[in-house]
A = this chain, B = another copy of it.
Amino acid sequence: MAGLYDEILENHRRKIEEALPSYLPPADGGARQNTVYEAMRYACMDGGKRLRPVLVMEFCRLCGGSPARALPFACAVEMIHAYSLVHDDLPCMDDSPLRRGKPSVHAAFGEDMALLAGDGLLTRAFEVMLAAENREGLPAEGVLSAAFALADAAGAGGMVGGQVIDLQSEGKAVDLPTLEALQLGKTAALITAACEMGCRIGDGSPQQLEAACRFGRELGLCFQIVDDLLDVTSTPEMLGKPVGGDQTNEKATYVSLLGTEKAAALAAERTRGAVEALAAFGEEASSLRALAQALLRRTS
């Protein structure tokens, strides 16, 4: 993860890390339902790389908008990402007791509280984007279309749908179009929405919007191919988690379908596509060009 962000993106990441707690329910412990507030905070403050919100901020900047104005929308995307991990880890889904080496939310707070913390985070994302004080001075159409993009990407036609295809694919022979549909939903939809939201808040042109969405889609799909590659080529020390899990679980991956070499070539092709899309933003997009290259070369 080291070297993923240059100074501009690292600056966005710091701002997000600072702002995120302020968009979550109060931490003063005063509410009767304080436990779920704690669980929501626990789920969000897990030291992830904040890729999605960083993309919101940077595309807003590239479109000429103020990244600070995009902060509530950036934090909303991160809440949606966090909720999806909480629900994925539940016993009826992946049944994961750990997340990034810490107890997962249901392991720490109980299954019922994890379910409700996920529901609370998903709902909170929309509260934050739609609250009058967070959208002051922004054009209403930008706010509406940004919030719609997130709902559309997170829902049954996007991220939730990708989860469903994943569940249905377990232990079955899966072809490449199905794997692509699965990953488009599970990973690429939310990353693409983040790029779109930045453009919507930054009032980008239709050309910029189209380029940002292409970048998000290519980056999102590449991200998953690299994950699949790392599962077979990395070591537990480098990855910070066990490797070879996909094969053990007989999971269809880009590597199992294409082999290591072709999967690596596809990842490189996706990265080229992502970088090409950035041409619409000219020289200013160098941070994102470097990010795409760093995500391709990452070792964890």
When the two chains form their complex, are residues A119 and B160 in contact, meaning their CB atoms are under 8 A apart?
Answer: yes
When the two chains form their complex, are residues B156 and A120 in contact, meaning their CB atoms are under 8 A apart?
Answer: yes
* Chain A residues numbered 177-211 whose CB sits less than 8 Å from any CB in chain B: 178, 181, 185
Binding stretch for chain B, among A44-52, A110-118, A247-255, A285-293: A110-118
Q: Please, how many angstroms separate the alpha-carbon atoms of A91 and B273 in the complex? A: 45
When the two chains form their complex, are residues A25 and B115 in contact, meaning their CB atoms are under 8 A apart?
Answer: no
Smallest CB gap from A110: residue in B = B92
* Chain A residues numbered 133-179 whose CB sits less than 8 Å from any CB in chain B: 135, 140-141, 143-145, 147-148, 151-152, 154-157, 160-165, 167-168, 178
**A40-B156 CB under 8 A given contacts A119-B87, A164-B116:** yes
Q: Does A36 contact B (CB under 8 A)?
A: yes
When the two chains form their complex, are residues B144 and A115 in contact, meaning their CB atoms are under 8 A apart?
Answer: no
Q: Please, how many angstroms separate the alpha-carbon atoms of A117 and B126 in the complex? A: 18
Q: Cβ of A168: which chain B residues have Cβ within 8 Å of it?
A: 32-33, 35
* Chain A residues numbered 79-123 whose CB sits less than 8 Å from any CB in chain B: 87, 90-93, 111-113, 115-120, 122-123
Q: Please, how many angstroms separate the alpha-carbon atoms of A162 and B156 in the complex? A: 26
When the two chains form their complex, are residues B32 and A161 in contact, meaning their CB atoms are under 8 A apart?
Answer: yes
Q: Does A127 contact B (CB under 8 A)?
A: yes
When the two chains form their complex, are residues A156 and B35 in contact, meaning their CB atoms are under 8 A apart?
Answer: no
Binding site for B on A (CB under 8 A): 25, 31-33, 35-37, 40, 87, 90-93, 111-113, 115-120, 122-124, 126-127, 130-132, 135, 140-141, 143-145, 147-148, 151-152, 154-157, 160-165, 167-168, 178, 181, 185
